[in-house]
Amino acid sequence: MSNETNSTPPLVDRIGDGLSRVATAMRTEAWTAADAIGLNPTQLQILTFLVARGSTGMRVKQIAAYLGVSQPTTTDSINALLRKGLVEKRADPSDARALSVAATEQGEDALRQAGRLASATEDAIAGLSRLEQQDLLTHLVKIIRNLQTSGAIPEQRMCVNCRYFRPNAHDDPQTPHHCAFVDAAFGPAQLRIDCGEYEGAAKDAQDAAWHIFNRTSAGA
């Protein structure tokens, strides 16, 4: 029997309220970090994304899909970054007729400067135990994947969506998963929300991997 009273909001609502409060703190910190290097949060988000992608860069369409915003909005932000010298256009290695956008050394330096700012959110997460952080990451992966499946957000470059992901391929509970890209075992604490080496798996392969991962991580 539940101990909750009729005046207590449902558990799902309380979790949502909690996530909303965390998101508010993160948005405030994003404005502060972006302002410190003369950007707005969207421009900082694009720069962060491109630095993580490395020298090959990404096409505007891909960046827009990652942000979940229109291509014109993305183009405006990229043009601002181009004017500041933080990104540049390069030939796309996969298509000589196309251009990709990549971060410059100046852009990498600016991102490092923004990253040196104190983050209350990071401090709060760091205050959790290692196991609590690992469990939180696992739950976030599940929430993000459910949002993706429902169409609320585009496909994310997470381990659980990747063609190289082999869930629970090893007996060691500390490193049960396997990444076929680097041919190495890894554990729940190394799960990635966004990976530069990501290649999306076919839907049936994603679903099969997710079934194995979700079944064995249900107690996380």
Same domain, 155 and 110: no
Residue 13 inside a domain? The answer is no
For residues 139-167, give the mean pLDDT: 94
| pLDDT class of 1 with cuts at 50, 70, 90 | very low
Look at residue 118 in the predicted model and tell me its pLDDT: 65
Look at residue 197 in the predicted model and tell me its pLDDT: 86
Same domain, 190 and 140: yes
Q: Inform me whether the pLDDT recorded for 42 exceeds 70.
A: yes
**Those residues with Cβ within 8 angstroms of residue 132's Cβ, 6 or more apart along the chain or in another chain:** none
Look at residue 138 in the predicted model and tell me its pLDDT: 95
Residue 110 CB neighbours (<10 A): 23
Residue owning tokens 């601002």? 80
User: 30: domain CATH number?
Assistant: 1.10.10.10
The structural domain count of the chain equals 2
Same domain, 27 and 98: yes
pTM to 2 decimals? 0.80
Residue 2 inside a domain? The answer is no
Strands (E), the chain: 87-92, 95-103, 165-166, 177-179, 184-186
Residue 165 inside a domain? The answer is yes
Same domain, 109 and 149: no
Q: Inform me whether the pLDDT recorded for 218 exceeds 60.
A: no
Which of the listed residues 91, 115, 139 is the one where a domain comes to its end? 115
For residues 141-161, give the mean pLDDT: 92
Residue-wise pLDDT tens digits, 87-108: 999 887 777 677 899 999 999 9
Same domain, 168 and 143: yes
Residue 121 CB neighbours (<10 A): 14
Strand partners, 148: none
Which of the listed residues 51, 83, 115 is the one where a domain comes to its end? 115
On whether the CB atoms of residues 158 and 144 are closer than 8 A, the answer is yes
Q: Inform me whether the pLDDT recorded for 58 exceeds 70.
A: yes
Smallest Cα–Cα separation from 157: which of 200, 204, 206, 94? Answer: 200
Same domain, 99 and 153: no
Residue 151 inside a domain? The answer is yes
Least confident span in 67-76, 121-130, 142-151: 67-76
Same domain, 209 and 186: yes
φ/ψ of 129, rounded to 5, equals: -70, 165
Residue 9 inside a domain? The answer is no
Residue 5 inside a domain? The answer is no
| pLDDT class of 196 with cuts at 50, 70, 90 | confident
Which of the listed residues 67, 93, 115 is the one where a domain comes to its end? 115
Look at residue 149 in the predicted model and tell me its pLDDT: 92
Residue 64 structural domain: 23-115
Same domain, 151 and 95: no
Q: Inform me whether the pLDDT recorded for 7 exceeds 80.
A: no
Look at residue 98 in the predicted model and tell me its pLDDT: 78
For residues 138-162, give the mean pLDDT: 93
φ/ψ of 92, rounded to 5, equals: -75, 120
Same domain, 107 and 165: no
For residues 24-29, give the mean pLDDT: 91
Average pLDDT over the chain reads: 90
